[in-house]
Chains A and B, each alone.
Chain A
Amino acid sequence: MTTKNIYKIAYYTYREALSRKIFLTFFGISTFVLVVFGLIFLFSGIEDLISFTQVEAGERIDLIEKIVDVLKFSIAAPLYGVGLFLAIFAASSFIPNMLEKGSIDVLLSKPISRNQVIWGKFLGGLYIVLVNIAYLVIGIWFLIGLKFGNWDPSFLMVIPTVTFTFAVLYSLIILVGILTQSSILAMMLSYLIFMIFSPVLLGREEIAILIDNKFVEYLLDALYYLTPKTAELASITTDMATGDFSFDYMPFITSAAFMILSLGLSIFIFSKKDY
């Protein structure tokens, strides 16, 4: 019963996402990228690619590995940036649309509990992002495998890390949506964290040296551990894409804690609110 209800809400969130052209655009771009890579791989020899990717000369096996790494990096990094940017843009209106006067009345008059509604919205949003990213990543992975015989599955880890980062930011979008019913605010706040807060806080030690104030130092530290660490997650994504698994798990754990807190708070507030 509960899972079925969550599934239904998720399904209609997915339909709403499809109706917004942005996911289709993303899907189109992905297809275009896949076709371009496919054509390049089809019509150029490995030698052309070596000069194209400007890998320094060395043993042939090494060279191929290096090309593959460059290719993987040059897919994973923009995917993380552009993919998340578009996903945030599209997802920020899910909750405000749902809460619109007249829509929320219809929804809440159905035999679905409020926490099922939040879970459905969350999982539905995750699902469409996951599908979009998986399509591009698996496609590229497959092409690289065919061309270079490199079937290293670590590249596929881009799928869960990008989806996870989206999940963390999406939980914030849901919370802000419930609190303010404003998609603009939810979007701005996510972009602020994604593009400014997290990269700046990553360099908090340098800032602390410049300012040289104990209080500021603690404040930056506190902010750092409390907010989602999208900048670290970005480098973890590209590291994993190229097979480097020697990263620190802290950004995952603290970001997951943020996500659980935002979702918990969203459910709590939504369950008490009058509409």
Chain B
Amino acid sequence: MYSVEVQSINKIYETAFRKRRVQALNDFSIKVEKGSIFGLLGPNGAGKTTLVKILLGITFPTTGTATVLGHDISNYKLKSKVGYLPENHKFPPYLNGGDVIKYAASLSGYEPPNLEQKVDELLSLVKMLEWKNMKVKKYSKGMMQRLGLAQAMINDPELVILDEPTDGVDPIGRKEIRDVLIDLKNQGKTIFLNSHLLSEVELITDNVAILNKGNLVHQGNVQELTTSKEKFKIKFASELKEELKSENFNKYQIEQMEEDTVLFKLNDVEELNNLIDDLRKAQLFIVSIEPLKSSLEDMFISLIKNSDK
């Protein structure tokens, strides 16, 4: 079951006199599993915001189709089950924090009898309850962001789309937002996240898609993406000196060696097993074998560099 399915979407922005043409999305397709946290990553201008705007009917695709919660995106009614935090969002300046949440609830068609209580619950969840009665035009950036997150959740959405939710939020606030998102996921909601902050994304997302200049560069599980298939750290019981210099180990590429730990660069898992056999034959006592993890950021940078070539 997918919450979002995008099929070969192209989006070309043309300026009025056709002097400039921007291909913001190029034959882009993704699927977002229901109940997961999905991260859409990419450098500035990659097309991330364009994609979420298309999903919400704020911008229209040039070609291609997409469904959200099983409905074609042209059906505006599906949005009653979606929450959205736009980047650089603005709310009517004459409203106060509590009014903004009610504004979002009302426009989403969400009118429970205990609305006031729900508003307070959400405001305290994002630590904004004490600012409830202050006009939003006096809010700081981080306060706007917290309020934006709260209004995106008021209609009890099945899908929450957040465009840079932690932008301008202090480190403690970011941790709080991450906890809120994990909590939403545990309630079975799907979260679609646009972000630059890869170290944060890495902490919470299940799947990511990496977008560069409108093209899908990579898609997959965060775990798989950050876990290298080629590099293994092997820890031995004692410090190694000469053992690995013998002919038997010439064929294996050693990247790094320190005391009792050796980092091997291998071609595949089969080679890893051969290595283990050889190590055991040489009577070396293995304590642990660990595939080397690279950070999402490292992977991101190398993927973007490759795709720019």
The judgment on whether A and B are partners is yes
Q: Which residues of A contact B (CB under 8 A)?
A: 1, 4-5, 8, 12, 15-16, 19, 100-113, 272, 274-275
CB <8 Å contact, A109 and B59? no
CB <8 Å contact, A12 and B53? no
Closest residue of chain A to B148, judged by CB?
A106
B264 at the interface (CB under 8 A from A): no
**24 A–B contacts from the bound complex (CB under 8 Å):** A8-B107, A12-B103, A15-B94, A19-B94, A102-B86, A105-B56, A105-B58, A105-B86, A105-B89, A106-B84, A106-B86, A106-B90, A106-B104, A107-B107, A108-B56, A109-B56, A109-B57, A109-B58, A109-B79, A109-B82, A111-B107, A111-B109, A112-B76, A275-B58
Q: Which residues of B contact A (CB under 8 A)?
A: 13, 53, 56-60, 76-80, 82, 84, 86, 88-95, 103-104, 106-109, 151
Which chain B positions have C-beta within 8 A of A275? 53, 58-59
Write the nearest CB–CB distance from A233 to chain B, whole angstroms. Answer: 32
A4 and B107 alpha carbons, distance in the complex (Å)? 10
Q: Tell me how many residue pairs across A and B have CB atoms closer than 8 Å.
A: 75
A93 and B90 alpha carbons, distance in the complex (Å)? 16
Which chain B positions have C-beta within 8 A of A5? 109
A109 and B13 alpha carbons, distance in the complex (Å)? 20
A12 and B95 alpha carbons, distance in the complex (Å)? 10
> Lowest 5 A-B CB distances belong to which pairs?
A19-B94, A102-B90, A105-B86, A110-B107, A109-B84
CB <8 Å contact, B108 and A12? no
Closest residue of chain B to A113, judged by CB?
B76
CB <8 Å contact, B57 and A108? yes
Which chain A positions have C-beta within 8 A of B104? 106, 110
Write the nearest CB–CB distance from A181 to chain B, whole angstroms. Answer: 13
CB <8 Å contact, B92 and A12? yes
CB <8 Å contact, A274 and B59? yes
Write the nearest CB–CB distance from A144 to chain B, whole angstroms. Answer: 37
Which chain A positions have C-beta within 8 A of B60? 272, 274
A144 and B84 alpha carbons, distance in the complex (Å)? 55
Max chain B Cβ within 10 angstroms of own Cβ: one of A1, A8, A105, A275: A105
Q: A8-B106, A275-B58 are in contact. List 5 more A-B contacts (CB 8 A).
A: A5-B109, A12-B103, A16-B92, A101-B88, A111-B109
Closest residue of chain B to A116, judged by CB?
B76
CB <8 Å contact, B58 and A103? no
Which chain A positions have C-beta within 8 A of B151? 106
A246 and B109 alpha carbons, distance in the complex (Å)? 48
Given contacts A108-B56, A275-B53, contact A103 B91 (CB under 8 A): yes
A8, A101, A110: the one within 8 Å of B79 (CB): A110
Write the nearest CB–CB distance from B91 to chain A, whole angstroms. Answer: 7
CB <8 Å contact, A105 and B53? yes
A104 and B107 alpha carbons, distance in the complex (Å)? 13
CB <8 Å contact, A111 and B80? yes
Max chain B Cβ within 10 angstroms of own Cβ: one of A100, A109, A275: A109
CB <8 Å contact, B59 and A112? no
Closest residue of chain A to B78, judged by CB?
A111
Write the nearest CB–CB distance from B68 to chain A, whole angstroms. Answer: 11
Closest residue of chain A to B49, judged by CB?
A105
Which chain B positions have C-beta within 8 A of A108? 56-58
A77 and B84 alpha carbons, distance in the complex (Å)? 49
Write the nearest CB–CB distance from A36 to chain B, whole angstroms. Answer: 31
Max chain B Cβ within 10 angstroms of own Cβ: one of A8, A12, A106, A107: A106
Which chain B positions have C-beta within 8 A of A104? 58
